Amino acid sequence: MALLTVDNISRKEGGNYTVRPTSFSQQAFEQIAIAGETGSGKTSLMKMLAGLVQPHAGEIRLAGERVAGPLDKLLPGHRSIAYLSQHFELRNNYYVHEILDYANQLTADEAFNLYKVCQIEHLLARKTDQLSGGEKQRIALAKLLITSPKLLLLDEPFSNLDSLHRAVIKEVIHGLAEKLGITCMMISHDAEDILSWADTIFIMKDGEIVQRGTAKEIYRRPVSEYCAGLFGAYNIIDIAAPGLQAACKELTVNEKKVVVRPENLVLQPATGEGAVATITRVFFRGNHYAIEVLVGQHLLKAYVNKTSFLAGDTVKLSFAAEDVWYM
């Protein structure tokens, strides 16, 4: 049986759907990420799962037990669901160990292991007003985990953090399932971390899940430009356009528009095979080069690890049929 079951829930505000009728399930230890533009319904959906917002239709069950909303009982939600908002708060002028001891349901050894996973064991003797934003967030997370939830909901855990604390909280979240056996669902705009962390990704638009799949499926076979754009740069290539058919001879002009990620475009010297292209600009991005190339009237972008090409060079551009998807 699934750990979490969502059956046709929806919510309207001002007569308009914030979340359209939605159903899905989550297995124990399955990590689900929710992506989408601001206003797509991600947080509204997660707040319903947490019991903080009442669905106008449908129901939510955790391990077969209904998750109550605020209209159902005074203390809504479910005792085994923990929700970390991006607007979390900690009491000021309290010692960290006081805040954690109050909520603790674990043995001393279990609690200390959790503190190590959350990387806060060195902060226990500090007061909350002596902590950075990233340290406060890890303590807020530990405060939830110390209640032994079955499902942890994370709303934009990487927002408002500097690069150092972002790296630390990412490491902590990656360790939750592996070291503590916690099932998580996360909202994030961080495409790179979603792809490396999630077993399943939901993409939301206008209150609806418009695509769901594994990280590879979402990245390599997005169902729309909207879905493609959430996870990085892409090229739309019209095979029927003059000069472009030579880029992939396996495709026919009947398959007019295809989409290719920049890293799947291959650039070769002008003596090679492919479509004739002119390099217009070359950008160094640290771990790769971003190269803009012009094929006829089409400006495309390619990513390569190293290059000797310069702006103005004539090259040959190609790509493989298995690296494209169709619009």
pLDDT of residue 149: 92
pLDDT of residue 48: 97
pLDDT of residue 256: 66
**Angle at 107 (CA atoms; ends 155, 83), nearest 5 degrees:** 10
One-letter amino acid of 285: R
Q: What is the pLDDT of residues 271-306, one digit of tens each?
A: 989 999 999 999 999 999 999 999 988 999 999 999
Sign for the pseudo-dihedral over CA of 227, 231, 232, 237 = negative
Distance CA 80, CA 67 (A): 10
> Is pLDDT above 90 for 36?
yes
Average pLDDT on 28-33 reads 95
pLDDT of residue 258: 87
Backbone angles phi, psi at 309, to 5 degrees: -70, 150
What CATH code is assigned to 4-229? 3.40.50.300
One-letter amino acid of 8: N
Structure tokens at 309: 């090409």
Kindly state which CATH superfamily the domain 235-326 is placed in. Answer: Nucleic acid-binding proteins (2.40.50.140)
Average pLDDT on 51-72 reads 95
Q: What is the pLDDT of residues 221-277, one digit of tens each?
A: 999 999 999 999 999 988 888 888 888 888 876 666 889 999 999 999 999 899 999
pLDDT of residue 172: 86
Distance CA 258, CA 320 (A): 11
Crossing angle of helices 133-145 and 96-103, in 10° steps, is: 20
Structure tokens at 269: 């010297």
Per the CB < 8 A criterion, the answer to whether 305 and 255 are in contact is: no
Sign for the pseudo-dihedral over CA of 226, 227, 233, 235 = negative
> Is pLDDT above 90 for 173?
no
pLDDT of residue 214: 97
Rounded to the nearest integer, the mean pLDDT of the chain is: 91
pLDDT of residue 170: 84
Distance CA 218, CA 20 (A): 21
> Is pLDDT above 70 for 151?
yes
pLDDT of residue 105: 80
Distance CA 300, CA 170 (A): 33
Structure tokens at 258: 């295809």
Average pLDDT on 142-154 reads 92
Please state the length of the chain: 327
If you search the block for the tokens 């799949």, which residue do you land on? 213
- What percentage of the chain reaches a pLDDT higher than 90? 60
Average pLDDT on 133-146 reads 89
- The three-class DSSP label of residue 193 is helix
Each domain of the chain, given as residue ranges in start order, spans 4-229, 235-326
Sequence-distant (6+) residues with CB within 8 A of 184 are 31, 32, 151, 152, 153, 154, 173, 176, 177
Per the CB < 8 A criterion, the answer to whether 165 and 133 are in contact is: yes
> Is pLDDT above 70 for 94?
yes
**Higher pLDDT pick, 8 / 138:** 8
Per the CB < 8 A criterion, the answer to whether 81 and 153 are in contact is: yes
Distance CA 227, CA 245 (A): 26
Q: What is the pLDDT of residues 67-90, one digit of tens each?
A: 999 998 878 889 999 999 888 888
Average pLDDT on 34-51 reads 96
pLDDT of residue 288: 95
Crossing angle of helices 163-175 and 133-145, in 10° steps, is: 10
Nearest 10 degrees: Cα torsion 226, 230, 234, 235? 20
Distance CA 6, CA 57 (A): 11
Average pLDDT on 123-138 reads 89
Average pLDDT on 143-167 reads 86
Q: Is 249 left (phi over 0), alpha (psi -120 to 50) or beta?
A: alpha
